[in-house]
Structure 1
Amino acid sequence: MLPQAVLREATDRKLFDEVVGRERVTRAELATATGFSKPTVSESVRRLTEGGLLAATGPQETGRRGRVGTFYELGTAAGWVLAVEVDQSGVQAWSADLAGRVLHRHDRPPGGAGDTGALAEALRATVSAALRKPPAGPLRAVAVSMANPVHPDTREVIALPRSPFPEGLLSPGDILADLVTAPVLVDNDVNLAALAEQRFGDATSFAYLYVGAGLGLGLYLGGTLVRGAHGLAGEVGYLPGAGWRTLATELAAAGLGRSDAPSNDVAAVLRALDAGTPAVLMALVAAVARAVASVTAVVDPEVVLLGGPLGTHPALLDPVRAAVATLSPSPTRLDHGTLGALAPLHGATHLALDHAVAAAIKHDVPG
């Protein structure tokens, strides 16, 4: 049997999520929705209210004849989280309440190519701007999405040879240590995007192929995100290319990237795709199709979702489908992700929220 404290935490989390999902609800409605007894609901709501996560809005009519009940909703001072995305386009961030509602956005452009110091300063400036305009309540977690692999145990950014994002080889936790007291959570951008897509979709076995400045893959198989023993699962940019060492260097050599790293120039490629430039489209389609064919041959997912600023371009989907059909025997569907280029930031938000709510409930539940 589970310890009583664990059961209480699970009950509180279930009821908190139910309140957030409904926005405003009575204890009787919570009991009906969850199947918990009324005494269990009352005790849980009391703990959540005393901890500041929920607030009672006062007795009001419930809509049923003669019935008046106290409604509960997310507490105005329950706290907030900060989600940050660090990639070749700079630093993007937004603050959100514990219901996941975005409150303020803060962005900074990148520094020079390969300039780690400038990127670190942009990260600090972005977080500092968020702290100067804080929502009500405590900052409970900061989640940082990095466009580099992250070790699954240490959560440190992993340096790989010929990284598409060499300036991103930094430690967000160290950079922000003197700015925030809340936990700083770090994960890979493509893994976070895959987690966010899983929250919004219905597939239990899918591959999320991010096509942007680099190529990356998130694998969600059997209800589990596959990270690999060293956090390197899905580094498809290192797959062999056609006549070049890797897919990433092949794209860079085709004129899609910058000279100091095998990284696509996203703005330039988007302009070329918008203009219908055949050479750019053909080079990108060939690389993406080989990556998709390799993935489907190994793991056979239900669907492959294309994401990222280039992967979501409408000109890419149909040609990649046609190319994959000639390379792979798998009947795997190919489609766009539902969250577009913001999927990593949504994933960072979910990471921060999961940690923040779990920690707040654990703290608020008496031992």
Structure 2
Amino acid sequence: METNPVRSLTDEQVLRALLHHRRLTRAELAAEIGVSKPTAGESVRRLTERGLLADTGERTPGGRGKGRVGQYYALADPGSALVIGIAPTGVAAELIDAYGDTLARATRPIDRPAHPAAVVRALQSVTLSFGTPPGVTPQQKTAPAVTTPPAPPPARPAPPSEAQSPGKRSPTGAPSPDKAPFAERPPTAGVSDPAVSGGRSPGASPSGEAPFGGRSPGWSPSGEASFGGRASGASSSVGQAPTESSSGAPSSGSFAAAAFFSAVRPRLAVVSAADPVDRATGRLVQLPDAPFLVGSLDPVAVLSDYVDGPVVVDNDVNWAARAEPASSDFAYLFLGEGLGCAIVSDGSVQRGRSGLAGEIAHILTVGRDGRATPFIEVFRALGLRRPDSSAIDVGRLLAAPVADRRAIGKAVAGVVAAIVALADPAEIVLGGAWGPALLVEIIAAVAGTPRPLPVRASAVTGESSLAAARQDALDRLRAQIVDSR
């Protein structure tokens, strides 16, 4: 690593610029980060010698009055990270790179009731579907027979995301205009001291959590891994021969294909689980009336052989709260098949000593008969739990008569009153499969509590837990790349 602070800062700016633009010439780098051309050139030389940057082989149009020919440089290794969601219906996984592109996707269903052994098999299956056996390094791994390299980028691609990592692999170079630059990305609500385990790589960012629970758009319905899917939709023909640029040098299409298959072994994994997570170990915890996993499950132990760095685990409710924009003090109520809560204070999720803060199933609230009743028992009294399970039957709840919906609204309001007394949030955010659907009933009931406060539906639709987990994995991967300078 560069010890001169000025050079180190310049090198960091160069790496971030290339995470933003994917590839630049030395002259473009100088203009982008506001330094002289010789300073930018020296930084490129240092980073190239350390294996962090590589010449893509592409050249700017030059000669005949057009000035000197410029060489394009890109990250030598954009790396990859594994993002996994464990939900009652199955396991979903994505392999992403430091540009924020999705390299591969896979899903595996799980029979109900979910048992740890079945979840372990599903975790191993989705990870192996990406092509990296346990314990095999990127240098030992052979590329799959079928490849889907991304399309070559234009001369000056639009800005995507940010960082990269050291190595001896080739840069992708495919643009992703919808990605915000690293320095400009707004911060999400943080999670204080999540469970991070199994770290082997230097520079890994400490923080641990995990979301998911469903399938994001583009998941292969067959459950098989889908390789090469880019956020921009760019792809090229399977196994195509390298193309050539106008200068005669190989284009970055084949360059990117090599990068993808050399980087398949992820540097880290981020896991979201629909169960309580022990803060110190990342193990899932079996609590009374937990509707999903029976017994405990250790995602860190299962996945550590498949990644080169840390395995970060947290529950899906904490992840969903992190995805909520423009709020720094709120309580996020997850109301679906399971019941959960995340308290966000000063922009950080408060996880408690063991990571089990927000387990609201047994908070005493108002039952249908007006008596004090554990929250989860309200749904049994109303006949709204799934057979032989404490999981709530969402379909039946949504079709419940008005009287039952009002009773549920009062029960939720009792939980809100307890949260307000202990945590004093600025507002209540409702998420989950049925929370927003009962917004009217819940608002009316909360208005009658001693300390009413604003209640609104979550601003994030779709798989919010997955989105937050993916962003966390991306931030960690980029941090590793920048810190490796």
Same topology, TM > 0.5: yes
Instruction: Give the Cα–Cα distance (whole angstroms) in 2 for the partners of residues 36 and 332 of structure 1.
Output: 49
Amino acid at match of 1:348: A
Map residues 216-295 of structure 1 onto 2, 5 A cutoff: 216-242=340-366, 243=371, 245-265=373-393, 269-270=394-395, 272-273=397-398, 275=399, 277-278=401-402, 281-295=405-419
1:171-219 Cα offsets, whole Å, 9 max, x none, are 112223444444322112212222233xxx2222222222222121222
Partner of 1:108, secondary structure, is strand
* Contact preservation (8 Å) 2:410, 2:446: no
- Unmatched segments (≥5 aa) in structure 1: none
For residues 328 and 23 of structure 1, the distance between their equivalents in structure 2, rounded to whole angstroms, comes to 55
- Structure 1 residue 32: Cα displacement: 6.8
Amino acid at match of 2:100: G
- Matched residue, 1:349: 470
Residue 48 of structure 1 deviates from its aligned partner by: 5.6
Deviation at residue 345 of structure 1 after TM alignment: 1.4
- Residue-by-residue CA offset, 1:157-183 (whole Å, 9 max, x unaligned): 233233232337201122234444443
Instruction: Pick one of 210, 213, 217 that aligns with 2:334.
Output: 210
Q: Deviations over 1:206-255 (max 9, x none)?
A: 22222222121222211322111111211122311324652123224422
Would the alpha carbon gap of residues 16 and 308 (structure 1) be closer, same or farther in structure 2, given more than 3 Å must change? farther
- Between the aligned partners of 1:330 and 1:11, the Cα distance in structure 2 is 52
**Match for residue 335 of structure 1 among 453, 457, 460:** 457
Contact 2:282 2:313 in 1 (8 A): yes
1:317 partner amino acid: L
Where 1:353 maps in the other structure, the secondary structure is helix
- 1:46 Cα deviation (Å)? 5.3
Residues 146 and 168 in structure 1, CA contact (< 8 A), matched pair in contact too: no
- When residues 326 and 185 of structure 1 are mapped into structure 2, their CA distance, relative to the original with a 3 A threshold, is same
Let me know the Cα RMSD of the aligned residues: 3.7
Question: Which amino acid in the other structure matches residue 350 of structure 1?
Answer: Q
Q: Which runs of 5+ in 2 are unaligned?
A: 133-224, 228-259
Report the 3-state secondary structure (helix = DSSP H, G, I; strand = E; otherwise coil) of the residue aligned with 1:150.
coil
Offset of residue 110 of structure 1: 1.8
Q: Comparing both structures, which one devotes a greater share of its residues to helix?
A: 1
CA separation of 1:236 and 1:227: change in aligned 2, threshold 3 A = same
Greater relative contact order (Cα < 8 A, sep 6+): 2
Write the letter of the residue equivalent to 1:288: V
Q: Give distance in 2, aligned partners of 1:126 and 1:271.
A: 32
1:159-238 correspondence to structure 2 within 5 Å:
159-167=286-294, 169-197=296-324, 201-238=325-362
Deviation per CA, 1:327-348, whole angstroms, max 9, x where unpaired? 253443523132x341221222
SS at match of 1:165: coil
d(CA) in 1 for partners of 2:446 and 2:278? 31
Q: Which amino acid aligns with 1:262?
A: S
Quote the Cα distance in structure 2 between the aligned partners of 1:308 and 1:8: 48
Structure whose CA Rg is larger: 2
Task: Write the mapping of 1:1-367 to structure 2, written as runs, cut at 5 A.
Answer: 4=3, 16-21=15-20, 51-52=51-52, 58=58, 60=60, 77-131=77-131, 135-138=260-263, 139-167=266-294, 169-197=296-324, 201-242=325-366, 243=371, 245-265=373-393, 269-270=394-395, 272-273=397-398, 275=399, 277-278=401-402, 281-311=405-435, 313=436, 315-338=437-460, 340-362=461-483, 364-365=484-485
Q: Tell me if structure 2 keeps the 8 A contact 1:148–1:169.
A: no
Aligned residues of 2:282 and 2:299 also touching (Cα < 8 A): no
Partners of 1:170 and 1:236 lie apart in 2 by 21
2: CA distance, partners of 1:13 / 1:194: 31
* Superimposed CA distance per residue, residues 88-145 of structure 1 (whole angstroms, 9 cap, x where no aligned partner): 1221222222122334332222223152222222222222223365644421111111
How has the CA–CA distance of structure 1 residues 318 and 116 changed in structure 2, closer, same or farther, with 3 Å as cutoff?
Answer: same
CA distance in 1, matches of 2:39, 2:52: 19
Stretch of structure 1 that moved more, 144-153 or 4-13: 4-13
Say if 2:335 and 2:434, in contact at 8 Å, map to a contact too: yes
Residues 1:57 and 1:300: Cα distance change in structure 2 (over 3 Å): farther
Residue 29 and residue 308 in structure 1: after superposition, are their counterparts in 2 closer, same or farther (change >3 A)? farther
Q: Give the TM-score of the pair, scaled to structure 2.
A: 0.61
Shift of 1:87: 2.0
C-alpha displacement of 1:10 = 7.3
Partners in 2 of 1:277 and 1:67 — Cα distance?
76
Amino acid at match of 2:410: A
Change (3 A) 1:37 1:154: farther
| Whole-angstrom distance in 2 between the partners of 1:351 and 1:182 | 14
Distance 1:246 1:359, change over 3 A: same
2 CA distance for matches of 1:44 and 1:252? 65
- Residue 292 (structure 1) shift: 3.0
Aligned residues: 349
Secondary structure of 1:326 counterpart? coil
SS in 2 for 1:249: helix
Residue pair 1:213, 1:264 contacting (<8 A) in 2 also: yes
Contact 1:257–1:263, Cα closer than 8 Å, also in 2: yes
State the secondary structure of the residue aligned to 1:241. strand
